[in-house]
Amino acid sequence: MLGFAATTTSTSTIVANTAHPAYSRGAYAVHLCNSQRTSCCSQSSSIFFVRIPSSSLRSSIHPVKAMAEAETLSIPKAESQSSGSGDKQALISLSDKQDLAFLGSGLQGLGYVVWNVVINILIERNSNVDAELMHMYDRYTVVSTGGTASALEKAGVSVTKVEQLTCFPEMLDGRVKTLHPSIHGGILARRDQKHHMEALNKHGIGTFDVVVVNLYPFYEKVSSTGGIAFEDGIENIDIGGPAMIRAAAKNHKDVLVVVDSQDYPSLLEFLQGNQDDQQFRRKLAWKAFQHVAAYDSAVSEWLWKQTVGDKFPPSLTVPLSLKSSLRYGENPHQKAAFYVDKSLAEVNAGGIATALQHHGKEMSYNNYLDADAAWNCVSEFKNPTCVIVKHTNPCGVASRNDILEAYRLAVKADPVSAFGGIVAFNIEVDEALAKEIREFRSPTDGETRMFYEIVVAPKYSERGLDILRGKSKTLRILEASKNEKGKLSLRQVGGGWLAQDSDDLTPQDIQFKVVSEKTPQESELCDAEFAWLCVKHVKSNAIVIAKDNCMLGMGSGQPNRLESLRIALRKAGDEVKGAALASDAFFPFAWKDAVEEACESGIGVIAEPGGSIRDGDAIDCCNKYGVSLLLTSVRHFRH
């Protein structure tokens, strides 16, 4: 850890130690903590002794109340020694040294004069010392450890080891470094409390006015691809850093605390203006506490997984980071913003939140919802697939070896709904596909070019990107990575949150049990599996009709299943003959209801979870019409 250090009071401090061996010899000991002696403040370190003739002592030194074996004396500083910054001090302790040189030089330019010697004076009780010997003591000090010292030295800033400020050596493999009254006293002291300042003066502690800290890279270490041993994870938990940040944030009225290098310019501007904007200080304090809270949440999340491992801990903190402010929410009168989940579980886990936008207008609230729905759906399919979504529901889905054909069939399923929707692919968008997206006409009239809000795919060829950019200035082009399985799904309700496993089941994970007299042919079973995979992404009550790996029609969001069926049948039209039908939940009634209407329309196979007390009626109805009935024992409600 490193720090800029100096005294802020109008007096310098001298500590008399009558127990020191030099005292018994009648000598005045000047203890110099030089930057070349990193451990000189320990009891076992070398000490420089300088004999000061008594004739050189002056009466301008005033005694202060003695403490145990030491006395503190106050020496007025020469006016010529005062720095132009008003004797302000900054403490800097960084793990991430980005823009450190900019910060250090900026502080120097504002009068934070840097030198590399910390001096402690050990003198005989009731004696006076020539104040001119203290000319070095009214300069600022950079206190540093490890790589930070090297970085500052390269920037032309002299540095001193942190133990030379605390006069106590770093110990326990660095676990105890800045946890010291010389550090925290100088941060936490309230300048408007006389007894606080008297306590600092009594113990020879200077105040800090600026604290700049960031923390050990725990998040990066435990989320690294290669993983990390438990013991190494523990050692990467920062203790001193959060303590300094919290202390400075608590005392933000007197101390400016910075945890983000992006705030360095505004900090320097604030200091240069010599202003006292409490709102600026409070904002930095908020950011500091938020920084520590997010850090602690990562530690908590990691430790929970190392212990119990249950997905639902008794207490849960989700760290969110603002990615963008949105123009509005679902409607223009609603304000909105978009946050990225910084939980460890989301590191390299894919999803639309981390998608790269290559082109187009800024994403809106509804854009994110629709893009997420389209991407989650298309990512489920193994074969080349196109999915078109409108208002979070897939209105067109098709899988083909020829992705151009898959795209055309997806549009054909519901061209009216597809217009103005989101189109997603699970393979690269190359030049040929990009041209098809740009030029394809709506099947409704054969003339109108299809318009889309968003195109999302795992990757794009360079030529494909150029062509899509030419389709529209507003077309949003997203490149996303597939969502990993096993994520925690969160949803807000009034006053609380619902948490559940993500719905990751695919047709390969379940058994389609034949319960009817008719056994489906292989092609019919494939159609049923395709329809079943589609229906899990449709809002309940959901019905999907599909054939030959292509959605023909779907009904969504109806309060009763019969209405969803009728919508799907109407969209499928004459192509319904011999097609597969999938339902997200069981049919509560069969005769003169959804099952019988489906059979009468010409559906060849039905896939549904089962579990109704009237499952027998559904089986009998299918047997009457010669329709295959498959029970999956898996429901796919989506609200």
Q: What is the DSSP pairing of strand 210-213 with strand 256-258?
A: parallel
Query: Rg of the chain's alpha carbons, rounded to an integer?
Result: 36
CA 61 vs CA 17, 129, 414, 600: distances in Å? 16, 7, 92, 107
CB contact set of 96 (below 8 Å; sequence gap of 6+)? 214, 217, 261
Distance CA 436, CA 426 (A): 16
Residue with tokens 């451990």: 39
Cis omega (within 30 of 0) for bond into 541: yes
Q: Measured between alpha carbons, how far is 77 from 107 in angstroms, rounded to an integer?
A: 22
**Which entry of 203, 391, 459, 518 is annotated as an active-site residue?**
391
Structure tokens at 456: 């999302």
**Phi-psi group of 111: left, alpha or beta (phi > 0 → left; psi -120 to 50 → alpha; rest → beta):** left
CA angle 160–165–167, rounded 5-degree value: 120
**What are the φ and ψ backbone dihedral angles of 80, each rounded to 5 degrees?**
-70, -15
Quick one: which H or E segment has residue 336?
strand 336-341
From the list 245, 277, 281, 255, the residue with the least C-alpha distance to 189 is 255
Q: CA 51 → CA 29, 57, 462, distances in Å?
A: 7, 12, 77
Q: Is 250 a catalytic residue?
A: yes
Pick from 405, 412, 424, 630: nearest CA to 532 = 630
Of the candidates 196, 203, 221, 250, the residue annotated as catalytic is 250
φ, ψ (nearest 5 deg) of residue 583: -120, 135
Closest CA to 605 of 506, 507, 514, 509: 514
- With beta carbons less than 8 A apart as the criterion, state whether 162 and 39 touch: no
Q: Is 454 helix (H, G, I), strand (E, B) or coil?
A: strand
Task: Annotate 30-91 with three-state secondary structure.
Answer: EEEEECCCCCCCCCCCCCCCCCCCHHHCCCCCEEEEEECCEEEEEEECCHHHCCCCCCCCEE
Three-state DSSP state, 153: helix
Structure tokens at 353: 């939140």
Q: Which residues have CB under 8 Å from 350's CB, separation 6+?
A: 480, 481, 482, 483, 484
**Would you say 515 and 555 are in contact if contact means Cβ atoms under 8 Å apart?**
no
- Picking from 556, 609, 613, the residue whose alpha carbon sits closest to that of residue 589 is 613
- In the residue annotation, 135 being an active-site residue is answered as no
**Which 8-state DSSP code applies to residue 460?**
B
Report the amino acid identity of residue 122: L
For residues 98 and 83, the answer to whether their CB atoms sit within 8 Å is no
The answer to whether the CB of 414 falls within 8 A of the CB of 396 is yes
Q: Give the count of beta carbons closer than 10 Å to the beta carbon of residue 178.
A: 25
Q: In this structure, which amino acid lies at residue 353? A: A
Question: Which residues are known to be catalytic?
Answer: 250, 391
